[in-house]
């Protein structure tokens, strides 16, 4: 099974990115044919500072590799290293009805939050469809917020296939219900644009500070508490197995447990969970050329597959004469 997903290098990574997408991707490399890339063209819709984009791109690669993405078991590259994707974007855009893009929540949400309503932001799902279809991807693991974009890619694939004959594999989103939406400190979706994240690879002090900021209700310590209404619990359960989860729920329901106590436990869990990856991350960060070499190899592997698709597409579209 061919699995593909991308992540934007537009800021530091948080638990939502990790549990919503990165962790699943890293697990997939063991059994599936994994394609994973840094979506830096997409990030340009929100990052216009070139230096910040370049730095973020390298950092995202370092983080993914440190967390266990293995470039030998997968194909791992930077989106803009394969400009073929732009050619496909144009071709697909000529098949994309305006209405399909006008219905996209992400565009509406982002412009409502003040991100400039550029053509790039509007056409973002077409570029994403090109990412997916260029590699004939079957499964696309994403958080719930990206589901609609994968559906747009499906619609475009079906439309082009109907027109030209079978050209593209029609992809399916893969959304893990358990972690469909990781809540942030305030209970909304964890997102860097809401400033409610718990970030990966923070210094202890900064990490504790973020965890302590999780919003809780004023129920007194001695009273029973509803775990399902508690942001600390909802985040904690990402780190727990079934038994630990049941034990924590019992403590909530029994009363006599304060939110400070569970926050402290969560802080320790997050710290200890990511600690083993920190050394590898430091090593990679100290060797940017080594990371660039890994990405260049990934680009070549990806290009081989992309070219196979593009040869067929160009022919069907009449771009070869």
Q: Which residues of this protein are in contact with ligand TRP, per CB under 6 A?
A: 4-8, 39, 42, 128, 131-132, 140, 142, 146, 149
Q: Are 134 and 310 in contact (CB under 8 A)?
A: yes
- Cβ distance to ligand ADP smaller for residue 146 or 236: 146
SS3 content of the chain, % helix, strand, coil (to 5): 60, 10, 30
* Closest C-alpha among 95, 124, 101 to residue 10: 124
Closest approach, Cβ 17 to ligand TRP, in A, equals: 8
> What secondary structure does DSSP assign to 77-143, as a single string?
EEGGG-THHHHHHHHHHTT--HHHHHT-HHHHHHHHTT----HHHHHHHHHHHHHHHHTT-SEEE--
Closest approach, Cβ 130 to ligand ADP, in A, equals: 17
Closest approach, Cβ 7 to ligand ADP, in A, equals: 5
Q: How many residues does the chain have?
A: 321
Binding site for ligand ADP (CB under 6 A): 7-8, 16-17, 20-21, 142-143, 145-146, 179, 181-182, 189-193
- Cβ distance to ligand ADP smaller for residue 143 or 171: 143
- Cβ distance to ligand ADP smaller for residue 47 or 160: 47
Token representation of residue 272: 């200890």
- Cβ distance to ligand ADP smaller for residue 40 or 191: 191
Q: What is the largest CA-CA distance in the chain?
A: 78
Judged by beta carbon distances under 5 to 8 A according to partner kind, the member of ligand TRP, ligand ADP, none in contact with residue 132 is ligand TRP
- Cβ distance to ligand ADP smaller for residue 57 or 313: 57
Judged by beta carbon distances under 5 to 8 A according to partner kind, the member of ligand TRP, ligand ADP, none in contact with residue 156 is none
Judged by beta carbon distances under 5 to 8 A according to partner kind, the member of ligand ADP, ligand TRP, none in contact with residue 111 is none
Judged by beta carbon distances under 5 to 8 A according to partner kind, the member of ligand TRP, ligand ADP, none in contact with residue 131 is ligand TRP
Closest approach, Cβ 220 to ligand TRP, in A, equals: 40
- Cβ distance to ligand ADP smaller for residue 145 or 155: 145
Judged by beta carbon distances under 5 to 8 A according to partner kind, the member of ligand TRP, ligand ADP, none in contact with residue 182 is ligand ADP
Judged by beta carbon distances under 5 to 8 A according to partner kind, the member of ligand ADP, ligand TRP, none in contact with residue 193 is ligand ADP
Q: How far apart are CA 195 and CA 96, in angstroms?
A: 34
Closest approach, Cβ 218 to ligand ADP, in A, equals: 25
Pairing between strand 139-141 and 172-174? parallel
- Residue labelled with tokens 């909802």: 234
Burial classification of residue 148, based on how many CB atoms lie within 10 Å of its CB (0-12 exposed, 13-18 middle, 19 or more buried): middle
Beta-carbon contacts of 241 under 8 Å, excluding residues fewer than 6 positions away, are none
Q: Taking the mean position of all CA atoms in its chain, how far away is CA 164?
A: 32
Q: How far apart are CA 260 and CA 210, in angstroms?
A: 13
Closest approach, Cβ 138 to ligand ADP, in A, equals: 17
């Amino acid at each position: 099974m061919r699995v593909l997903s991308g992540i934007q290098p537009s800021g530091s990574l948080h638990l939502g990115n990790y549990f919503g997408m990165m962790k699943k991707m890293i697990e997939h490399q063991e059994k599936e044919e994994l394609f994973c890339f840094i979506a830096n063209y997409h990030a340009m819709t929100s990052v216009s500072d070139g230096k910040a984009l370049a730095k973020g791109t390298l950092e995202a690669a370092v983080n993914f590799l440190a967390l266990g993405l293995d470039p030998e078991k997968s194909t791992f590259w930077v989106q803009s290293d394969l400009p073929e994707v732009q050619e496909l974007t144009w071709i697909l855009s000529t098949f994309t009805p305006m209405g399909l893009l006008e219905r996209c929540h992400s565009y509406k949400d982002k412009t409502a939050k003040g991100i400039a309503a550029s053509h790039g932001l509007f056409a973002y799902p077409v570029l994403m469809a090109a990412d997916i279809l260029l590699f004939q991807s079957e499964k696309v693991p994403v958080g719930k917020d990206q589901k609609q974009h994968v559906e747009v890619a499906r619609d475009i694939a079906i439309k082009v296939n109907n027109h030209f004959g079978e050209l593209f594999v029609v992809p399916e989103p893969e959304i893990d219900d358990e972690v469909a939406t990781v809540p942030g400190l305030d209970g909304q979706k964890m997102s860097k644009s809401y400033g409610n994240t718990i970030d990966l690879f923070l210094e202890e002090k900064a990490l504790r500070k973020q965890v302590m900021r999780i919003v809780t209700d004023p129920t007194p310590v001695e009273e029973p508490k509803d775990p399902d209404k508690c942001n600390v619990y909802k985040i904690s359960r990402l780190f727990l197995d079934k038994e630990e989860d049941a034990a924590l729920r019992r403590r909530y329901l029994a009363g006599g447990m304060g939110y400070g106590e569970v926050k402290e436990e969560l802080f320790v869990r997050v710290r200890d969970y990511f600690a083993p990856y920190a050394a590898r991350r430091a090593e990679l960060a100290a060797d940017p050329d080594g990371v660039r070499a890994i990405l260049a190899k990934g680009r070549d592997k990806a290009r081989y597959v992309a070219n196979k698709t593009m040869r067929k597409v160009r022919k069907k579209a009449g771009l070869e004469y």
